[in-house]
């Protein structure tokens, strides 16, 4: 069962290229920020779906909170996460990424970025293998909804104003 997330904030998007971890490509992924008040209904829907997956696919096994795709943003030290639930979703196959008018987007368009608002579609699934029991979310697609204040990337570029004018300096 897919779940649609409307007008949520996007964080750590790797929608056009797979995220890299220790030099190896992993998956396409994104973290969605759901306001605890504004998105209370969909948060409840996700929590119920998680409970359903645990009951049916994991036979009611105990699953630690840190093994769920839905987490409390108040427990994370990132700007903009307080007051939100976070949902991390990933996929091995490139997800659909579209603009407001449903036209496909590319990375070069520069429309989707960390901090913008999007609609997302995810699907929950239970993992039960040698790596443990978890409830994960598959990232199916993202639609740009509106601009938002960009999150700091931590690796921004320098500005020309950061440098001194050396035109008349001798070395």
**How does pLDDT run across 88-137, given as a tens digit for each residue?**
999 999 999 999 999 999 999 999 999 999 999 999 999 999 999 999 99
For the domain made up of 2-149, the CATH class stated in words is: mainly beta
Distances in Å between the Cα of 159 and the Cα atoms of 65, 109, 152 are 42, 22, 15
Kind of pairing between the strands at 96-98 and 28-35: unpaired
For the chain, what percent of residues have pLDDT higher than 70?
91
pTM of the prediction? 0.86
**Which stretch of 22-31, 44-53, 147-156 has the lowest confidence by average pLDDT?**
147-156
CB-based contact 111:105 (threshold 8 Å): yes
What is the pLDDT, as a whole number, of residue 155? 45
Q: Is 87 left (phi over 0), alpha (psi -120 to 50) or beta?
A: beta
Averaged pLDDT for residues 36-47: 98
């Amino acid at each position: 069962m897919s779940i649609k997330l409307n007008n949520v904030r996007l964080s750590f998007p790797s929608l056009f290229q797979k995220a890299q971890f220790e030099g190896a490509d992993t998956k396409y992924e994104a973290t969605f920020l759901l306001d605890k008040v504004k998105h209370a209904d969909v948060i409840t829907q996700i929590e119920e779906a998680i409970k359903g997956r645990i009951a049916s696919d994991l036979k009611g096994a105990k699953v630690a909170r840190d093994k769920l795709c839905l987490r409390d943003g108040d427990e994370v030290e990132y700007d903009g996460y307080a007051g939100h639930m976070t949902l991390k979703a990933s996929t091995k196959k490139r997800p659909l990424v579209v603009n407001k008018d449903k036209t496909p987007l590319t990375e070069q368009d520069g429309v989707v970025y960390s901090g913008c608002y999007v609609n997302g579609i995810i699907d929950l699934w239970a993992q039960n293998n040698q790596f443990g029991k978890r409830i994960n979310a598959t990232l199916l697609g993202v639609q740009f909804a509106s601009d938002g204040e960009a999150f700091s990337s931590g690796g921004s570029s320098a500005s020309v104003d950061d440098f001194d004018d050396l035109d008349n300096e001798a070395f």
